[in-house]
Structure formats: C-alpha cells, structure tokens
C-alpha cells in the first residue's frame, strides 16, 4: 500500500499545525533511510519537486567510510551531488514521530535527471519493467525478524553490545505469555505502522529468547520493498521511544539462532490473475512457476550477496536453526532453501528462505526477479522436489558459506550482468569486497579471548 497522504492533505495539515516536518529519504546500499528533515512549508514551496544529496551516499559502508574503487564517485571526482526526487505516491504520516510526515525519493543524476543505475530502488524498478515486458507482475511479501533488548541504544553501546538482556528469557516462538512482555514495543509498532499506511498483519514471537517477527501483507514488489524499509526504520524509532533497543543483525550471537527475512513471491498477469497456479500440474505449480523456480535455483549462488551482504550474514547458515544450507526446493519444508507454500491453490508461491534480516529488500527482490526471469526466458527445467531433512542432503549444492565465495559468484554472474548491467554489478562487488577487506583488517574479541594466554 503506497503512502496515505496526498499533497493537498499535507498542505491542510501544515495550515492547521498537524504536520510541521517532512522527512525526505532515499535508500542507501545497506537499505537504510538517509535524507533530510524539512520544515513543512519549505517542502510544500520547493522541496516537493527535488532536493539534493552528496553522491557518496551510494558508495559508503555502515560507518559512512568512503572506500576507493567505485567508478561512480570518488575523491578524485570531487563527490558531487545527486538529485533526490520525491515520489509523491509514498507520502505518509509517521505517527511515531510527532508532527512529521515521510516521503521516499528516487535518486537521480544531477545533470540528466535519470535514475542512478546502482540506486537500490532503480535496480528493482528495472527488473519490474523487464517482468512487465513479459506480461507479468510480481506479488511479494517479506518477513522481518529482529531481537528486542531491554537496554536502550546508548546503554547497549556503553556495554559494547555484550551481555545484553533479551526482552524475554526463553524461546518465545508463538508464545503468547512471553510476547506479552514486549507489548510495550509491539503494540505501538503494529498500530503506528498501520496508521502510517503499512498493512500490518501481525507480530509474533520467534525461535529464540527476545526474538520477534513482524509480518506485513503482500503487495507489488516495489511497494513491498518500500514498506519493508519503512517498517525496519520505524521499528528502531519506536523502540527508541519505548526505551529499549532492537537489532536486525543476522546472527547476534554464536549460541543463538539468527534472524531471517524470508521472501514470498508469485507472479500475476497484468490484469491481476495468478499465473503460478495450474490445477492440472503436480502440486498445482504451473509450467511458468516451474521455470521461475528453476531460475531461482540455477542462479542461487549468483544472488547470495544480495540476500546475505555481510560477513556476519553467513554465520546464520547452520543446520538445525531453520536457516537453510542447501540449494533445494521442497513442499512446505522449512529445512529447504526454497519452500513451496500453499500448494494446489491459487495462492501457491515460492518462499526464499536464504535471506537474513540484514538484507536490502530492493536488491534482494531485484535479484530474485532477475533469476526467475532468466528461468522463464531460458525455459529451465525444474529438478525434482527434495523430500526430508535438507541439512542432511550431502549431494545437494550448498549455499555459499562465506562472503568471499558469494562475492566471487556475483562477480562471475553473466546472468546478473545482463540483467542489471556491468556497472551495477561492479559497484556491488566492490561493496562486498570492502566488507571483506575491513573484516580481514580488524582484530576480533574472539582472537584475543582464544589466544591471549594460550598463544
């Protein structure tokens, strides 16, 4: 569901004092919202048309460092400007921030006013356009999992993010009593997101102490990515307001399970009819769906960086944790990398279980569409469904076990280079390699604990 505030309604809210601030944001490579807070009248007068930002915002890491090696921008090019072009269909109230509205912006070249190709929103829009040229649209939904801690963000930082207190004391998967302890956060999260136009379905406990899940109703692929990014940001702000903290890191501790972001996806015709279902095919999976799923499997290694973008992301892939390790598909089987949900129905769909909570939804969904489109265009044949414990499937191909291997697969992917362009793939290969370079440089607590006395 797009935003819930028209430009005319914003003008009225400004006049009566209901809204005094408009937060204009773009999405960076990490999936974060970056931008500016405008006085509402300035936004109405001028910034609704466009504003500007430094072009390094699409060439930094989590620390806002400026690594070299990017063709798009650098110190030698002077770090110029991008245009942030507000998408007026995304304008919405943000009840967690008093007197504020928010709007998502497309990132455009300062001179041509064309979308910057490596902007996450532009990457996804390009794959959506490719899909539409084949006569289809994508319906998608993502699950957001995260950990909730009793400490505030400042307290967590003072403790160096060690020995934090989960909001509940034991596995709270579907546990109503345990999740009652976190309603001080979850109730305003559900209600305030819904008031912001995000179609929240529910929250629930997940399979670890203090672990929660937020589910949002399916939508078209672009709107799904927009609402995912908004909801992730809102969860952090609402936690701040509630005096606690949340973390979307994929694997917060070696002794706990990780947090995922499963991606449900299906295709429809341009007039809205489901095309993944065929009652005459096994499990109700149409030939089109079989080709699409075959593409996801064939190019699973190529797309892994967009589902698991950091060193920590790969710590999540472990047997017995509900995070997959093998590139197989199965019917309603949570040990497989790709699970078929609602077989033999109009709602039959693919759930990609590879992605972690740290993914960028635009890049993740774009890579899924690119792989699925390749499967359709190449009429790839779907292998037989896997049955049983996929963790024990010793002959099945493995999901890349580390960022280095996944980056190599991305760099060598002819499919993604054709789908997204060499410049885009080179940009994100550089981002992944920088993550590896930084980790290789850092001395970890593990190394010191292990070797301080024993070395």
- pLDDT above 80: residue 39: yes
Structural tokens at position 1 = 């569901």
**pLDDT exceeds 60 at position 1:** no
Q: Which residue has the tokens 């990398």?
A: 337
Mean pLDDT of 194-218: 93
Mean pLDDT throughout 319-347? 94
> Each residue of 110-142: pLDDT tens digit?
899 999 999 999 999 999 999 999 999 999 999
Mention the CATH class of domain 7-116: alpha beta
Residue 414 pLDDT exceeds 60: yes
Q: What is the pTM of this model?
A: 0.96
Q: What's the mean per-residue pLDDT of the chain? A: 94
Name which of 442, 400, 427, 422 is nearest 305 in CA terms. Answer: 400
d(CA 20, CA 41): 8
173 vs 450, more confident: 450
- Give yes or no for a contact between 213 and 109, defined as CB atoms under 8 angstroms apart: no
pLDDT beyond 90 at 66? no
Nearest Cα neighbor of 90 from 270, 227, 212 is 227
- Give the side-chain half-sphere CA count within 13 A for 93: 18
The predicted structure's pLDDT at residue 88 = 95
Q: Are 297 and 338 in contact (CB under 8 A)?
A: yes
pLDDT of residue 245: 97
Radius of gyration of the chain (CA): 22
3-class DSSP state of 313: helix
DSSP-assigned letters across all residues of 277-309: B-TTSGGGB-HHHHHHHHHHHHTHHHHHHHHS-
- Residues 91-106 have pLDDT tens digits of 999 999 999 999 999 9
| Eight-class DSSP state of 47 | I
Q: Please give the helix or strand (H or E) that residue 362 lies within, else none.
A: helix 361-377
- What are the residue boundaries of the structural domains of the chain, listed by start? 7-116, 127-446
CATH 3.30.590.10 corresponds to the domain 127-446: yes
pLDDT above 90 covers what percent of the chain? Answer: 85
C-alpha distance from residue 431 to each of 74, 155, 356 (Å): 14, 30, 18
Tokens encoding 321: 């944790």
Question: Is residue 2 predicted with pLDDT exceeding 80?
Answer: no
Give residue-wise pLDDT tens across range 67-76. 888 888 878 7
Identify the CA nearest to 264 among candidates 86, 144, 131: 144
Percent above pLDDT 70 for the chain:
100
Classify residue 101 as exposed, middle or buried by CB count within 10 Å of its CB (0-12, 13-18, 19+): buried
pLDDT of residue 67: 87
């Amino acid at each position: 569901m797009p935003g819930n505030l028209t430009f005319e309604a914003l003008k009225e809210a400004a006049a009566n004092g209901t809204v005094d601030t408009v937060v204009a944001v773009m999405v960076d490579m990490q999936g974060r919202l970056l931008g500016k807070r405008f006085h509402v009248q300035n936004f109405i007068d001028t910034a609704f048309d466009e504003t500007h930002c430094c072009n390094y915002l699409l060439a930094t890491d989590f620390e806002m460092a400026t690594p070299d090696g990017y063709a798009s921008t650098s110190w030698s090019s002077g770090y110029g400007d991008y245009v942030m072009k507000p998408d007026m269909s995304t304008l919405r109230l943000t009840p967690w921030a008093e007197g504020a509205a928010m709007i998502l912006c497309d990132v455009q070249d300062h001179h041509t006013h064309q979308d910057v190709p490596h902007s996450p929103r532009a990457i996804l829009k390009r794959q959506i356009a490719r899909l539409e040229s084949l006569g289809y649209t994508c319906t998608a939904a993502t699950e957001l999992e995260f950990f909730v801690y009793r400490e505030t963000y400042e307290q967590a930082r003072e403790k160096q993010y060690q020995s934090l207190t989960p909001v509940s004391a034991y596995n709270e998967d579907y546990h109503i009593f345990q999740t009652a302890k976190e309603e001080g956060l979850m109730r305003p999260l559900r209600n305030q997101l819904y008031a912001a136009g995000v179609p929240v379905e529910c929250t629930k406990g997940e399979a670890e102490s203090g672990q929660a899940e937020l589910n949002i109703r399916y939508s078209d692929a672009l709107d799904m990515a927009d609402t995912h990014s908004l909801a992730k940001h809102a969860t952090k702000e609402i936690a701040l307001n509630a005096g606690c903290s949340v973390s979307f890191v994929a694997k917060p501790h070696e002794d706990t399970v990780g947090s995922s972001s499963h991606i449900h996806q299906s295709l429809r015709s341009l007039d809205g009819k489901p095309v993944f279902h065929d009652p005459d095919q096994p499990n109700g999976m149409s030939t089109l769906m079989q080709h699409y799923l075959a593409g996801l499997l064939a190019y699973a290694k190529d797309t892994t960086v967009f589902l698991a973008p950091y060193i920590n992301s790969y710590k999540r892939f472990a047997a017995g944790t509900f995070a997959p390790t093998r590139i197989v598909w199965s019917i309603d089987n949570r040990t497989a990398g790709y699970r078929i949900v609602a077989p033999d129905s109009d709602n039959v769909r693919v759930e990609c279980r590879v992605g972690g909570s740290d993914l960028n939804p635009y890049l993740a969904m774009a890579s899924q569409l690119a792989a699925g489109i390749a499967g359709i265009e190449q009429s790839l044949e779907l292998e037989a469904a896997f049955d049983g414990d996929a963790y024990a499937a010793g002959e099945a191909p493995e999901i890349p076990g580390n960022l280095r291997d996944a980056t190599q697969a991305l760099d060598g992917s002819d499919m993604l280079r054709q789908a997204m362009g060499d410049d885009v793939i080179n940009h994100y290969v550089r981002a992944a390699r920088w993550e590896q370079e930084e980790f290789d440089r850092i001395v970890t607590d593990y190394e010191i604990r292990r070797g301080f006395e024993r070395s």
